[in-house]
Amino acid sequence: MPGYIQKILARYKHPHPTKPVNTPHEYNEPVYGKKRQFAKPDDTSPLLDVKGTRYIQGIVGSLLYYSRATDSAILCALNELSSQQAKPTENTKKAAHRLLDYVATHPDAIIRYHASDMILHIDSDAAYLVMPGAKSRISGYFQMGNNDGFTSIPNGVNGAILVECKTLRHVVASAAEAETGGVFHNAQIGVIIRTALHELGHPQPPTPLKTDNSTTNNFANSTLRQKRSKSWDVRFHWLRDREAQEQFKIFWGSGKGIEADFTTKHFGPSHHLQMRERYMRKIHLVQQYFINALAQLGHSHREGVFLPSGLSADRCHH
């Protein structure tokens, strides 16, 4: 969406930050070794007036489509802002300005898609007790791949067709229950996408759905004996039923390989830059692939421009 961020900054008269802002939200570095964890204190800053409330709601609405279409890195920050937009405070306004500083620093996000067998793959993750009111955040990363685990896609991972970032409506009693709630929500979205793909002529095998929580994996695959878990039965027995119908294949994967993990938590600047570096590296590998292919066809490549033989640089596009 070229130029979209510049239009938003001009609309809300937000100046470009004097220094680069590499996180869309405030980040408090965790202190390891503490025996007791305390909840985030309540926001006691003054409430905004009607004009200020509409200002916050406008920012959330303007960035929501952009985040779902291209830049999923701001979904976590938008999730918190949207939960406060009914009664925003001065701190909410500061958080909104921080988000605008981030998109001004990193405008024009790009998603790259690669040809595949059009097989749906889902990564699911959750963050326990990170929202006000003892709520938890869930996320899902939906992408297309092959039956052989993306091995034929350049650099391994395809661009997302959908990234979910939601707040669980009910309060869960454990991190495992939050993870199971995330798998439940993402599987329900997956059923809709599976149906659409089937109607488009792409039959789907059992959809791989990855979670990094072993309890959730064992529960969904009926390898866990339950005791006093009626809340799980009421809300999540649907997962076992769908897996029995061979619509999904839920399995455990390491947390480092869960793409949805990035949109559930507030990470520090180094992690955000690392993720951008990771994605940029993928683009560079793909570019090199096409450079080699064009070289075999008799075309040359010079300073970031593909130059067909016999054409000058001023007649070519980047």
Domain contains 114: no
What is the reported pLDDT for 318?
36
The terminus-to-terminus CA distance of the chain in angstroms comes to: 17
In the chain, how many domains are there? 3
Neighbours of 249 (CB within 10 A): 14
**Residue 121, token pair as written in the block:** 């793959």
Considering the domain architecture, whether residues 17 and 149 belong to the same structural domain is answered as no
Residue 255 and residue 278 in one domain: no
The residue range of the domain holding 156 is 119-263
One domain for residues 215 and 161: yes
Residue ending a domain, among 76, 105, 134, is 105
DSSP codes of every residue in 154-177 = TTS-PPEEEEEEEE-SSPPSSHHH
User: Which DSSP state fits 116?
Assistant: -
Is residue 279 in a domain? yes
DSSP states of 56-98 as a string?
HHHHHHHHHHHHHHT-GGGHHHHHHHHHHTTS-BHHHHHHHHH
Residues 213, 294, single domain; the answer is no
146 with 246, same domain?
A: yes
Residue 283: helix, strand or coil by DSSP?
helix
Q: Which of 184, 145, 143 is nearest to 166 (CA)?
A: 184
- Judgement on whether residues 246 and 273 belong to the same structural domain of the protein: no
Distances (CA, A) of 46 to 52, 88, 122: 11, 9, 41
Q: Are residues 101 and 123 in the same domain?
A: no
pLDDT at res. 300: 54
How far, in Å, CA of 132 to CA of 138, rounded?
Answer: 14
Q: In this structure, are 141 and 259 located in the same domain? A: yes
Q: Rounded to two decimals, what is the model's pTM?
A: 0.77
Provide the residue-wise pLDDT of the chain in tens; the chain has 318 residues: 889 999 999 999 999 998 888 888 887 666 666 666 666 677 788 999 999 999 999 999 999 989 988 888 889 889 989 988 999 999 999 999 999 999 999 888 888 888 889 999 999 999 888 888 788 899 999 999 888 766 655 555 678 899 999 998 888 878 888 999 999 999 999 999 999 999 999 999 999 999 988 888 888 887 877 665 666 666 677 787 888 888 888 888 766 666 666 666 677 677 766 766 555 444 444 444 555 566 666 665 444 444 344 433 343 333
Q: Where is the domain boundary, 42, 73, 105?
A: 105
